Structure 1
Amino acid sequence: MTCAELLIRLLRDTHGVDTVFGIPGVHTVALYRGLEEGGLRHVTPRHEQGAGFMADGYARATGRPGVCFIITGPGMTNIATAMGQALADSVPMLVISSVNRRDTLGRGQGRLHELPSQQQLLAGLARFSHTLLDPAALAETLARAFAIFQGERPGPVHIEIPIDLFDAPVVLTELPPPVRLFRPAPDPEGLALAAEWLHAAERPLVLLGGGCVEAPQAACTLVERLDAPTVTTINAKGVLGRDHRLDLGANAALPAVRKLAREADVILAVGTELGETDYDVVFDDGFELRGRLIRIDIDAQQLVRNQPVSLGLVGDAGRSLALLAERFPVPLARDGAERTATTLAALGLEDDPAFAPFVPLYAALREALPEAILVGDSTVPVYAGNHLVSQPEPRRYFNASTGYGTLGYGLPAALGAQLGQPDLPVVALVGDGGVMFTLSELATAVEENLPVVILLWHNLGYEEIRRFMDANGVERVGVDLRAPDFQQVVAGFGCASRRIETPEELARALASRPASAPYLIEIDAAAWQKAIAMPQT
């Protein structure tokens, strides 16, 4: 078989890949020979950035790596932003690209799609970037990628294949079998010390990050046995289930939770970066931990970033949570639920002027689509949802306001989530500014008959940046944008849509959504906020 044919078989049979996102190009035609017969579904976005965001959404919704086939040069620079978001949020993504012939690499001959070094360009956005020079090494190189996805902190991996190797013959008697990797458990001595500190704690606090999404039962068991208030970050929403009595949500940047954190005598942080976009979204470096900090992470380097650590344990979050819970066979009683309830009451989220307009929005979504995956862009309703939303399971709420913080993520990532979880409803939460980055992916949604609900918050530009300009005494420039008539635009794609102004209209629109096609609901932000402020009759 050829190298390209071997790639398809390894992805499908050895590594269990079922979906590939990509745009065919002259340099990748060989990859498409026999692709349909190979049993892999190919989804064609309208831009390589969209391919990366779709792969990201697919991975977050399923827990399986999202895979992309990308053309040399401009294809790779286009997908770079999506790789940056995936790297920041530890999302497993495999990017297979072409590159120019081996005998031309680095020679600057002005060949089609040529870059001085495509591999070097992408190396900073990937867990590793590799140029395949021998077809016989393909199986091992792919195995390395999936070893990262399964055995350590995940993220994007880039493998580029010179175009003269796609049709190169490969002699292989049989495909290598899949390898099952077990992640490491933390050192027993360290676990014992962590348990000792947690037993003695009077005011414990637990911080759970996105690294815990594969172990909701273990996480729930541990925090209940510790009877400890628990912050669940944006990427950890649903780890404790919906409205758990110990869940403080993703509210670590708000004053009442910060007070609780300062007063905690022992803090257990598992699978979390303790990064700015989870703990300091007001950007004042005000999240302070004064007690003993125990950190558990698969990445040893992460243990010493952002906050002074008292005890660091390298290990898988799920195994660590389960092993630690075993050391507390009798649940402790330290008024955890009362402390959590008091703190949430002090936050007053539903009455906060920044969040109140979105309480009925998320109430309508919860009523109509209680099991939905909510996928967000960087937009005002998402910023509020980060604080307001509680989900029944992990992997049902994620967005681009964390980490890299790109715009244009919401729509294509929601499509990827829908492809990965076809039996669950999916809602894309986007703004009129950000959606313009990737609005073309609506064509993909229509083509693939994906029943994604797209909630478009139309506030005439970049509201968050307007606020920052106003707060810093900067004259507004470049933020008050003229948007198209979205109703006409989406009709041109063949997508149904509706413009609404009130929560009651939103409920009716959600009830009438199509069963097998995308549906855009445009919310007039000014009219909505006026309706919320007026007494409902």
Structure 2
Amino acid sequence: MTSTVRLTVAQALVRFLAAQHTERDGRRRRLVAACWGIFGHGNVAGIGQALLEHAGEMPYLQGRNEQAMVHAAVGYARQCDRLAVHAVTTSIGPGATNLVTGAALATVNRLPVLLLPGDVFATRPADPVLQQLEVPYAGDVSVNDALRPVSRYFDRITRPEALIPAALQAMRTLTDPADTGAVTLALPQDVQAEAYDWPAEFLAGRVWHVRRPAPDPTALAEAARAVRAARRPLIVAGGGVHHSGAEEALRELVDATGIPVASTQAGKGSLRHDHPCDLGGIGHTGTAAADDTARTADLVIGVGTRYTDFTTASGTLFAEPSVRFVNLNVAPSDSHRMGALPLVADARAGLEALAAAVRGHRVDADHEAAYRARKEAWERTVDAAYAAPDEGARPTQTQVLGALDAVVGDEDVVINAAGSLPGDLHRLWRTRSRRQYHLEYGYSCMGYEIPAAIGVKLADPGRPVWALVGDGTYLMMPTEIVTAVQEGVGIKLVLVQNHGYASIGGLSEETGAERFGTAYRHRAADGTYTGDPLPVDLAANAASLGMDVVRADTVAALRTALAAARACDRPVCVYVETDTAPGGAGTAPAAQAWWDVPVAETATRPAAIEARARYERRAAGRRRHL
């Protein structure tokens, strides 16, 4: 006779999650390490009660904003190389719909997170109930259905026994390196509290082996022939290098062959910045060294990259007429991009196999000399951007990065996601280790940085973790500062005040929209937002939420403040107002490649007319790689 345990659905789910583990390369770890939650009538008596009853098995983390809880969980999963995750539970209604942005971010970036939103009654004793969405044409739709398109797996548990296959499918998706992202199990509030006799086997410990598929021998042989035949090959390292832990395999391949490496935002740090083959970021936010090498490359080897428009400069970067592509990717759909020879495999396994297949081969000396000269020239550009001739002056944003660069160690993690900082960081930051550069640029979500820093710090408490945030992003989501203070999570916030949306302001100017609606200023007499800067004090706001705050109004004061923040073990904020005047020392270098943002085809304002002419010249260089 099968042994059973009588529990509610919520209690069984918590017990089940606590018993799941991952294993890769012989290392076993717990899969669902904790559950974030904000409780309301849709989950307080179900998941909430279960987390209390089984507190010794599933740690609980209290959040302030549902979207932010997902961001924290994503930061945690990325720091754990996708081998461990956090769950997030919310009530029905606005609590559930607040998950959508975070879920989209997780799925776009192929990062696992488990979402457990409450749902309306499955038995419909009252209709409608509080926060229920009424859809005249479909009685089984709730607001949780908004999570379907942004989830890799979605199910609604309308009967207790349905939890068993759904939970197993959820774990499969969370641990599948080619098919992971947000996983949503919508839980009607009455079903959460319903009791059922659960098979003991369902609640027993289970290990999910994270596979490392090897490349197909025929495809590998063809890829090796392409490498040997290429005169100017280039590797584009994406986030898959980090997720697979393939950094050493990549380094061994390029040490042996001399093939240069350019990195996407997610892949930066695949090589140390001072490795002779590392050319830095690629694409619209890339370095001149990487982009100029990409323009002449006759073979591009993508490793764990999706080739987004920023990486390809909207199809204008890889300009060599005869260029070919080899894509090493664990996801078959990504491996076929750019008309490439697909090498479907785990990044580490694939790089090791490719290195063996091309053993003894090295690139031409002329190619090696050319890209190394470009790298040396770009290092001088970085030095100029970081330089601060006047220590008593207000720093520029790039000088802020230069001051931080002088403070951090190899073990530090620097987190950013949106605004003008991603471009400056991708071009300029000198990454020292595989985990140091943490940019969320698949979704580029404002508000990600502070909660993600908490997630990273929870995953790796011994590391100094920095969240770099502009004023626009800060105003979107400062709420989790309270969580950091409550939990004693010593994140370090660098809060850059530049009085508006700096990145979109620049893009607006480039596209003929004249920075309309991008400044944080009072209205002027003509009704435009061109008056005095708003008298907000974001440093005071951070302090009011419990952070230690250090203000820095000069380059010298900034250096002192950053050093003090690194030594602080409490949540600490360094607040700096930057010099945004164009030109001069400490100015960020211009974009080295194009990005396609369509410009008005017809207009009367001169700025838009001129921008359209520039757009048409650049768009003429677009190319589809088939």
CA distance in 2, matches of 1:131, 1:378: 33
Q: Mean Cα displacement is larger for which, 296-305 or 517-526?
A: 296-305
Amino acid at match of 2:34: T
The Cα shift of 1:23 comes to: 0.9
Once the two structures are TM-superposed, the CA of residue 313 in structure 1 deviates from its matched residue by 2.0
What CA distance in whole angstroms lies between the structure 2 residues aligned with 1:208 and 1:137? 41
Provide the identity percentage.
28
Matching residue within 342, 364, 370 for 2:373: 342
- SS of equivalent residue, structure 1 residue 18: strand
- Which residue of 2 is the match for residue 147 of structure 1? 172
**Displacement of 1:419:** 1.3
Aligned to 2:197: 170
- In the superposition, relative to structure 1, how do residues 146 and 244 fare at CA in structure 2: closer, same or farther (>3 Å)? farther
Q: Which amino acid aligns with 1:344?
A: K
Runs of 5+ unmatched residues, structure 1: none
Q: Partner of 1:79 in structure 2?
A: 99
* Alignment counterpart, residue 138 of structure 1, candidates 163, 177, 180: 163
Per-residue CA deviation, residues 175-219 of structure 1 (Å, 9 max, x unaligned), is 242232424222111011111211222211111100111221112
SS state at 2:253 partner:
helix
List per-residue Cα deviations over 1:425-451 (Å, max 9, x = no partner): 000000011111101221111111111
- 77-86 vs 354-363, which moves further: 354-363
Q: How big is the shift at 1:533?
A: 6.1
Q: Residues 364 and 153 (structure 1 numbering): CA distance in 2 closer, same or farther, change over 3 Å? A: farther
2:263 corresponds to 1:232: yes
8 A Cα contact 1:147 1:181, kept in partner? no
* TM superposition score normalised by structure 2: 0.78
**Equivalent residue for 2:572?**
519
Letter in 1 for 2:183: V
Q: Distance in 2 between matches of 1:458 and 1:488?
A: 13
Alpha carbons 1:87, 1:125 under 8 Å: kept: yes
Specify the alignment match of 1:386 in structure 2.
Answer: 426
Distance 2:584 2:343 in 1: 51
**Do the aligned residues in 2 keep the contact of 1:502 with 1:531 (CA within 8 Å)?**
no
> Residue 498 of structure 1 aligns with which residue?
550
Distance (Å, rounded) in 2 between the aligned partners of 1:529 and 1:445 = 36
Instruction: Map 1:55-454; keep pairs closer than 5 Å.
Output: 55-63=73-81, 64-104=84-124, 109-115=127-133, 116-151=141-176, 152-168=178-194, 169-174=196-201, 175-176=203-204, 177-213=206-242, 214-253=245-284, 254=287, 256-280=289-313, 285-288=316-319, 290-305=322-337, 307-309=338-340, 311-330=341-360, 332-335=362-365, 337-347=368-378, 349-350=381-382, 357-370=396-409, 371-400=411-440, 402-454=441-493
- Residues 458-495 of structure 1, C-alpha deviation per residue, up to 9 Å, x if partnerless? 01111122222323333443322136212321221121
- Once the two structures are superposed, what CA deviation does each residue of 1:354-380 show, in whole Å capped at 9, x if it has no partner? 999455433432332212111113132
Computing the radius of gyration from Cα coordinates, the structure with the larger value is 2
Pair 1:508–1:346, CA change in 2 (3 A):
closer
Distance 1:479 1:196, change over 3 A: same
Mean Cα deviation higher: 350-359 or 423-432: 350-359
Query: How far apart are the structure 1 equivalents of 2:443 and 2:493?
Result: 22
Alignment of 1:437-476 (within 5 A): 437-476=476-515
For the residues of structure 1 that align with 2:48 and 2:417, how far apart are their CA atoms?
A: 32
Equivalent residue of 2:568, what SS? coil
Counterpart of 2:98, as a letter, is N
Cα gap change, 1:135 to 1:325, in 2 (>3 Å):
farther
1:358 and 1:383 map into 2 onto residues whose CA distance is 11
Q: 1:261 to 1:162 in 2, by over 3 A?
A: same
In the TM superposition, residue 532 of structure 1 has moved relative to its aligned partner by 5.5
Contact 1:262 1:291 in 2 (8 A): no
Partner of residue 8, structure 2: 2
TM-score relative to the length of structure 1: 0.91
Q: Does the 8 A contact of 2:491 with 2:572 survive in 1? A: yes
Q: How far off its partner does 1:350 sit?
A: 1.7
Amino acid across the alignment from 1:153:
D
CA contact (8 A) 1:92 1:149 kept: yes
Residue equivalent to 1:49: 67
Aligned counterpart, 2:591:
none
Q: CA RMSD in A?
A: 2.7
Deviations for 1:114-171, whole angstroms, at most 9, x for unmatched residues? 2333353211101121112333343432332232233323211111122122122232
SS at 2:569 equivalent: coil
**Greater mean deviation of Cα atoms: 284-293 or 70-79:** 284-293
CA distance in 1 between counterparts of 2:417 and 2:559 reads 22
Aligned equivalents of 2:211 and 2:586: distance in 1? 54
* Distance of aligned partners of 1:136 and 1:181 in 2 relative to their CA distance in 1, 3 Å threshold: farther
Q: Does the CA contact (< 8 Å) of 2:96 and 2:118 recur in 1?
A: no
Q: Structure 1 counterpart of 2:480, which letter?
A: E
CA distance in 1, matches of 2:583, 2:218: 59
8 Å contact kept, 2:450–2:478: yes
Q: Deviations over 1:371-395 (max 9, x none)?
A: 2111113132332011112323323
Residues 267-311 of structure 1: per-residue CA shift (max 9 Å, x gap): 21111011123342xx57444464221112222222333x232x1
Q: State the distance in 1 between where 2:581 and 2:453 align.
A: 24
Q: Tell me, yes or no, if the aligned pair for 2:8 and 2:193 is still in contact at 8 Å.
A: yes
